Amino acid sequence: MKQPSVDWLGFALVAYGAFVGITGNTISLPWIIGGKPAFQVDDGKLPQVLVVEESSDRTSQLSTIFGVMRQHVEASGGQIQIIDKDNADQKDNAPWVQAAWKVKGSTVPWVVGSTKTAGVNLAVPTTSPEDAIKALSPIGVK
């Protein structure tokens, strides 16, 4: 019996290309970063996490999510900074914040975080605080 000549990876890439071509959107798969940090971290507390938001759009749900993210990042031994997307002047921030700021996200609010061996760059899950923490698990946030 002849095997089908479908290359599933090729099919997936073609389907993805069609999706991007039709919608203009991309699909972010942050857990498939290949273990690469999203930005150069310094020797401070790890993980280092930057959340970029539009502060005028912050809802009580987002305030709760950001608060829980802060608690979990700090409990994991890390640092977190939450900055408005229009705050272009980063010269007074820590070097890791300046490096993270250069990593652009796809939508606001987004989160970029790194350790020395792993990174995430994705839209902040706004459905629940638990989903936001789960999204940070690749960089050791529990």
pLDDT, tens only, 97-108: 999 999 988 899
5-20 b/e (C-beta count within 10 Å ≥ 16 → b): eeeeeeeeeeeeeeee
**What's the pLDDT at 6?**
46
Q: Which residue has the higher pLDDT, 82 or 25?
A: 82
Residue 30: per-residue pLDDT? 42
Q: What are phi and psi of 46, to 5 degrees?
A: -120, 145
pLDDT at 9 > cutoff 50: no
SS3 87: coil
Domain ranges of the chain: 29-139
pLDDT given for residue 134 in this prediction: 95
Confidence band for 66, pLDDT divided at 50, 70 and 90: very high
Contact 120, 138 (CB under 8 A): yes
Confidence bin at 31 (pLDDT 50/70/90): very low
**CA 15/CA 30 separation, integer angstroms:** 19
Read off the pTM.
0.74
> Hey, what CATH topology would domain 29-139 get?
Glutaredoxin (3.40.30)
